């Protein structure tokens, strides 16, 4: 009897551990909106003693291309001018939306963001870009916590 309880506990806590590891907040996410615009969310926390600056770029192969920035003295590549918008996220970070490039994205792209000197990047294959739906965003952010909670209640009530 004790062996089955111990085995059950080991399984439940093992699953909880794996799920909690995967819950770690992603600093940068890339997805495609319903209108086929590309969205890059950069959730880096800026340092408090600097003016908030941002840079969004991508690289494919050895070439890095600046898409949007508010850094003085830097400019986005000409083909991106007027094609992207950046908005501030709450509590911190920025979201860049890029229009008209869904079909011309490089096959394997590294998306980069920089906020007040802090950097984050993610590599995504064009065919693996997820849709930016409210459901998928919810599942990415809180599904693991929900599963953990359900497993915890299952374990404590059985």
pLDDT in tens, 65-120: 999 999 999 999 999 999 999 999 998 899 999 998 877 787 889 999 999 889 99
Task: Give the burial string for 108-144 (b: 16+ CB within 10 Å, else e).
Answer: ebbbbbbbbeeebebebeeeebeebeeeeeeebeeeb
Assess if residue 85 is contained within a domain.
yes
Q: Residue 28: which domain range? A: 24-134
Tens digit of each residue's pLDDT (9 = 90 or more) over 8-42: 654 544 444 433 333 345 899 999 999 999 999 99
pTM of the model: 0.69
Question: CATH no. for residue 45?
Answer: 2.60.40.10
Assess if residue 128 is contained within a domain.
yes
Assess if residue 59 is contained within a domain.
yes
Assess if residue 141 is contained within a domain.
no
More reliable by pLDDT, 8 or 45: 45
Assess if residue 88 is contained within a domain.
yes
Count structural domains, the chain. Answer: 1
More reliable by pLDDT, 143 or 47: 47
């Amino acid at each position: 009897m004790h062996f089955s309880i111990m085995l059950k506990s080991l399984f439940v806590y093992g699953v909880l551990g794996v799920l909690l590891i995967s819950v770690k907040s992603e600093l940068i996410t890339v997805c495609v909106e319903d209108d086929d615009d590309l969205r890059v969310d950069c959730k880096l926390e800026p340092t408090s003693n600097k003016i908030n600056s941002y840079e969004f770029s991508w690289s494919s192969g050895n070439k890095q291309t600046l898409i949007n920035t508010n850094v003085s003295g830097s400019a986005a590549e000409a083909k991106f001018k007027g094609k992207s918008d950046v908005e501030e996220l709450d509590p911190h970070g920025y979201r860049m939306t890029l229009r008209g490039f869904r079909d011309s994205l490089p096959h394997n792209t590294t998306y980069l963001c920089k906020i007040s000197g802090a950097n984050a990047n993610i590599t995504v294959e064009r065919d693996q870009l997820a849709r930016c739906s409210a459901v998928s965003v919810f599942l990415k952010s809180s599904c693991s916590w929900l599963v953990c909670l359900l497993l915890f209640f299952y374990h404590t009530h059985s």
